[in-house]
């Protein structure tokens, strides 16, 4: 049985924004956080230090490209970068645009919600997703 990220990457209609032989950039369907993106090492590699220095550098170049695109298109207050996933055998980074009016700010997204997000604000942020994905692709052109 394939792991969750392998299944996600192989699924028809997967939310793949960009990919190459090493990495995939995936849009995360998280209603409260439009623009939430994962950068996933395609092969089963559990830790950053299992990658070569060049491969680690490549992962971070892609993470920074996603962050740069989020900042340019989404105009968040802050970007959260996180690398965790105890049950997933893939190096992967979560790149999450954050706003002072998001449900959890200033706390982490996994903390208790501080407020309800305004539906019209979330809709406006979701409307930016095509531009965000185009900006990510543009930054990652080889």
133 φ, ψ to 5°? Answer: -65, -40
Complete domains list, the chain, with CATH: 4-140 (3.30.428.10)
CA distance 66 to 122: 20
- Residue 13: the pLDDT is 65
124 φ, ψ to 5°? Answer: -65, -40
pLDDT in tens, 76-128: 999 999 998 788 889 999 999 999 999 999 999 999 999 999 999 999 999 99
């Amino acid at each position: 049985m394939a792991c969750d990220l392998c299944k996600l990457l192989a699924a028809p209609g997967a939310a793949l924004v960009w990919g190459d032989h090493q990495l995939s950039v995936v849009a995360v369907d998280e209603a409260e956080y439009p623009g939430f993106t994962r950068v996933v090492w395609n092969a089963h590699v559990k830790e950053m230090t299992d990658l070569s220095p060049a491969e680690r550098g490549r992962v971070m170049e892609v993470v920074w490209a996603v962050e740069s695109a989020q900042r340019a298109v989404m105009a968040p207050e802050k970007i959260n970068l996180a690398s965790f996933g105890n049950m997933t055998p893939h190096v992967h980074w979560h790149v999450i645009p954050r706003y002072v009016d998001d449900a959890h700010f200033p706390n982490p997204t996994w903390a208790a919600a501080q407020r309800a997000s305004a539906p019209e604000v979330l809709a406006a942020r979701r409307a930016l997703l095509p531009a965000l994905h185009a900006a990510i692709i543009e930054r990652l052109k080889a």
